[in-house]
Amino acid sequence: MRKALTLLAVLAASPALATGLDIKIGGEASGTIHIDLFEDVAPKHVDQITAIAEAGGYDGVYFHRVIEGFMAQTGDVEFGRVGGDIRRAGMGGSQLPDLPAEFSDRPFDRGVVGMARSQNPDSANSQFFIMFKEGHFLNGQYTVVGEVTSGMEVVDAIKRGQGQNGAVIGEPDRMVTVTVTE
């Protein structure tokens, strides 16, 4: 409960001033990814992502769903962290409320970052994904929050999952630290 209050306090106190995220990746892939965030396109989502990052919520969270030729998904701060039950990764979120969709005309091209959600368009919370290649079938269906501007070679090296759902077998790559940049 203390962490939830901390996240809520950070969210309430921080307007969308961030311009990006630096994500240090560890595992088979190693390096740093820089993501420019689109405050003008998805301000509520950017606020929530930056609040979680500023509170350290993304540190140690796995890339639990990685589909070759499609995307790498991470951000399950509830079940997807190092030392947790990786079998439940992808089922959780943060203590913050789910967000209403902020769909835009930004296309899902290579390197674009989108918010993961359930079938309900207004269910995005903490999980996000990075596109390996274009996926225009997602356009207008998922919220675009940013794009990778450096470190795409690190994204390309993230350990791939197996099967249609892209579940990673063994030790997945992870976000070691996530830092908000201005």
Q: Which H or E run includes 2?
A: helix 2-13
In this structure, what are the phi and psi dihedrals at residue 171, rounded to the nearest 5 degrees? -85, 110
Cα gap 78→59, rounded to integer Å: 12
Q: What is the mean pLDDT of residues 139-154?
A: 97
| DSSP string across 43-92 | HHHHHHHHHHHHTTTTTTEEEEEEETTTEEEE--TTTSBTTS-GGGTTS-
- With cut-offs at 50, 70 and 90, classify the pLDDT of residue 63: very high
- With cut-offs at 50, 70 and 90, classify the pLDDT of residue 22: very high
Q: Is the pTM of this model over 0.75?
A: yes
Cα gap 3→5, rounded to integer Å: 5
Cα gap 8→108, rounded to integer Å: 30
Q: Is a pLDDT exceeding 70 seen at residue 9?
A: no
Q: Is a pLDDT exceeding 80 seen at residue 176?
A: yes
Q: Is a pLDDT exceeding 70 seen at residue 156?
A: yes
3-class state of residue 15 by DSSP = coil
Contact 138, 101 (CB under 8 A): no
Task: Please tell me what DSSP assigns to residue 138.
Answer: G
Domains contained in the chain, CATH given: 2-181 (2.40.100.10)
pLDDT at 91: 86
Q: Is a pLDDT exceeding 80 seen at residue 14?
A: no
Q: Is a pLDDT exceeding 60 seen at residue 127?
A: yes
In this structure, what are the phi and psi dihedrals at residue 97, rounded to the nearest 5 degrees? -70, 155
